[in-house]
Structure 1
């Protein structure tokens, strides 16, 4: 009888060859057999809920929306959303959809999930509150290269409209900027500026 039961189950479990337990139950849910589980175990799973950002920064967050139509066989709307609290936090989200309202909602969520802190500094003596970028930072996206350069207090933001809006939302009062490449491509221009802003915390200074 035991031999008959074993034959009915098959070599890989009760369902026959190739259908059974596939290695059996390991008893450890944290191991993760799929991509998301493996990323969670390694600590590489990022923020997935925009409500977390709302809980901490809802009262101070402001957003700017820009819609550009994408002309293909079907007209779609590509939305860029910049979001920030004007006090050291800024985010950028991009979403494309057939409906403008859907694209705006998705871009706002992505912008909240991409919020990064910005390290502010001084030009010259450390008098008053930090007002500019701590040093020259540069980044690129596509053919667009953007540099953010410290400026004296009272200079303002010397920039094109796209970087100026992102720097204002990050809480920067004075900054020189320099850009190369096809800056008419709005997405690359905004992403290059955002990546340069993110680099201000890529190193540590004595005041941190």
Structure 2
């Protein structure tokens, strides 16, 4: 898997907290309560990332999640009507998400976790279907996996040694 390193300090990033869970660890003296926050960050212009933060307090968990997400930013290839360039399926453990290209005016047709990722990536027209596990963390990571696999028509043409017109038909 190839990762382009994106400098998050130059981007205007927005964040969305997808889920906050209270987790407990049973220790000798009783139960240890902590919080985990799943945070998605993006600039609405083709950059998106997701991260998990764990801490004793909720705001601290969110801050850690945001920092983690900023380290894992990816670039998303969009077409002229702010949709994805082609249909693709993303997988992460038990969750798989089907991402389908959509024409102008469709809007974002997606469930909660996948919607957060699409909105922050700057996608305005897309149809998605979550298959398999409905675990929020896995759905978010599966969506990001799908977006990471996207290729622009120029990339496909270069890889196949053809012109963009031949690829698009």
Q: Per-residue CA shift, 1:117-162, capped at 9, x if unaligned?
A: 10012xxxxxxx3321111111211211111110111011111011
Find 1:71's aligned residue among 19, 24, 32. Answer: 24
2:138 paired with 1:188: yes
Distance 1:93 1:201, change over 3 A: farther
Distance 1:108 1:160, change over 3 A: same
Aligned partners of 2:105, 2:111: CA distance in 1, in Å? 18
- Contact 1:117/1:201, CA 8 A, preserved across alignment: no
TM-score (norm 1): 0.65
Structure 1, unmatched stretches of 5+, are 1-43, 122-128
Q: Deviation above 6 Å: which 4+ runs of structure 1?
A: none
Aligned partners of 2:113, 2:126: CA distance in 1, in Å? 14
Higher share of residues assigned strand: 2
Distance 1:202 1:188, change over 3 A: farther
Count of residue pairs the alignment pairs up: 149
Structure 2, unmatched stretches of 5+, are 27-31, 158-163, 165-169
Aligned partners of 1:102, 1:132: CA distance in 2, in Å? 34
Instruction: Measure how far apart 1:201 and its partner are.
Output: 4.0
Aligned partners of 2:22, 2:43: CA distance in 1, in Å? 28
- Contact 2:85/2:152, CA 8 A, preserved across alignment: no
TM-score (norm 2): 0.79
SS in 2 for 1:191: helix
Query: What root-mean-square deviation, in Å, do the aligned CA atoms of Structure 1 and Structure 2 show?
Result: 2.3
Partner of 2:121: 170
| Structure with bigger RCO (C-alpha 8 Å, 6+ apart) | 2
SS in 2 for 1:68: strand
Q: Which moved more, 1:94-103 or 1:72-81?
A: 94-103
Larger radius of gyration: 1
SS in 2 for 1:71: strand
SS in 2 for 1:205: helix
Partner of 2:68: 110
Partner of 1:96: 54
Find 1:197's aligned residue among 126, 147, 162. Answer: 147
